[in-house]
Amino acid sequence: MRVLVTGGCGFIGSALVRRLVADGHEVVNLDAMTYAGDARTVAEVSRANNYSFLKADITDRAAISDAFKTFKPQQVFHLAAESHVDRSIDGPGVFIQTNLVGTSILLDCALEYWRSLPGEAADAFRFLHVSTDEVYGTLAMTDVAFREDTPYAPNSPYAASKAGADHLVRAWAETYGLPAVITNCSNNYGPFQHPEKLIPTVIRTALSGADIPVYGTGENIRDWLYVEDHVAGLIAAMATGRAGRKYNFGGDAERTNIDLVRDICGLLDQKRPGTAPYADQIRFVTDRPGHDLRYAVNAARAKSELSWAAAVTLDEGLSQTLDWYLTHPEWLSRDPAEIARLGLSRSEGDA
């Protein structure tokens, strides 16, 4: 297949690109290479004959239109997005521009291209939009997990911009018939994750002897999904998901932030023991504004319709992830001034 991936140098996007290239698909990776894009994430496939890279922003209509006309994709995986909650609180404008305006431009170009295709090619074309469980808002401790029909109630500028993008994709499918699928995932983790996110931040600060920051009292709960399991779900949704349908992906692995941090510290005690338990470095910091209490994802539809299920348990995935970071310490190294500027003491691991 000829596959266009937007945001393919990001954490989830690069994992998808690596899998698609390894599976033999012809892949164009379209990425604006902002702070979230890193060429190292796709270095292992960068010389493959079936891989090419296009530096472009999804808000650049001319560049996106030209990419469709030149590459003629049969599938589009849309992952390009601003996705860091803390950054959205500090500056929501860029999230609205990329996640809403950019998605609308990508949809327009995809629709124009799709309408130009002959019958069988048009029937085979698919557009998959990758989103987050944060569009559903927050859950109380006793609430049932998010389903695909859970009403949207986003609480951060990031979540609101992704919710808007989801609505745009649905509207283009309903109004114009664009064969689109929407997926919503729980918190991802694994190799190559951006250093601002929770798990890399815990590992980096622990190993450096610095304070390990935890929001509030650490009782916020997240459902965790290993990134390779998510990629398997995206490929399944593209291959067999119904156009106009929505699919949730979750790991069935809820854990409080403080328990997750302590688990990572315990693994570090085993794999890279120090002079004292790493958990002694944990410090609670001022909570994030509008911090959602709990996310939990019901992935029953994906399991029944796509024959998909998370294969990696959270404990297995954390151990594998920690091993990767310990053997790739350069991924965690950042200039101290840059770390301070990004406010890493306020980081959390959103998808």
Q: Which residues participate in catalysis according to the annotation?
A: 133-134, 158
Residue 152, domain extent: 2-194+225-253+295-311
Phi-psi category of 234—alpha, beta or left, where left has phi over 0 and alpha has psi -120 to 50? alpha
Sign of the CA dihedral with 172 first, then 175, 179, and 180 last? positive
User: Tell me, what's the pLDDT at 341?
Assistant: 41
How many structural domains comprise the chain?
1
The per-residue pLDDT for range 54-102, each reduced to its tens digit, is: 999 999 999 999 999 999 999 999 999 987 677 878 788 989 999 999 9
Q: Which residue has the higher pLDDT, 341 or 192?
A: 192
* Residue 325 forms part of a structural domain: no
Q: Provide the edge-to-edge strand list for the sheet that holds 187-189.
A: 187-189, 221-226, 254-256
Closest-CA residue to 248 (of 276, 223, 212, 214)? 223
Least confident of 28-37, 146-155, 258-267: 28-37
Q: What are the angstrom distances between the C-alpha of 120 and each of 73, 106, 147, 159, 250?
A: 14, 22, 33, 36, 34
- How many DSSP H helices and E strands does the chain contain? 13, 12
* Residue 119 forms part of a structural domain: yes
User: Tell me, what's the pLDDT at 347?
Assistant: 33
Residue 137 has pLDDT above 50, yes or no: yes
* Residue 318 forms part of a structural domain: no
How much is the average pLDDT of 150-172? 96
Confidence of residue 339 (pLDDT cuts 50, 70, 90): very low
Residue 213 has pLDDT above 90, yes or no: yes
Residue 345 has pLDDT above 60, yes or no: no
Residue 83's CATH number: 3.40.50.720
Confidence of residue 334 (pLDDT cuts 50, 70, 90): low
How much is the average pLDDT of 156-160? 91
Q: Residue 233 corresponds to which amino acid?
A: G
Least confident of 41-50, 77-86, 123-132, 203-212: 77-86
How much is the average pLDDT of 10-25? 98
How much is the average pLDDT of 197-218? 95
Residue 302 has pLDDT above 50, yes or no: yes
User: Tell me, what's the pLDDT at 91?
Assistant: 83
User: Tell me, what's the pLDDT at 336?
Assistant: 44
* Residue 181 forms part of a structural domain: yes
User: Tell me, what's the pLDDT at 227?
Assistant: 98
Confidence of residue 290 (pLDDT cuts 50, 70, 90): confident
Residue 351 has pLDDT above 60, yes or no: no
* Residue 326 forms part of a structural domain: no
User: Tell me, what's the pLDDT at 180?
Assistant: 98
Given 3-state DSSP classes, what are the helix, strand and coil percentages for the chain, each rounded to the nearest 5?
Answer: 50, 15, 35
* Residue 300 forms part of a structural domain: yes
- Supply the mean pLDDT for the chain: 93
Structural tokens at position 307: 């024959």
* Residue 268 forms part of a structural domain: no
* Residue 276 forms part of a structural domain: no
User: Tell me, what's the pLDDT at 342?
Assistant: 37
Confidence of residue 241 (pLDDT cuts 50, 70, 90): very high
What are φ and ψ of residue 225, in 5° steps? Answer: -130, 125
Least confident of 88-92, 214-218, 312-316, 327-331: 88-92
Residue 348 has pLDDT above 70, yes or no: no
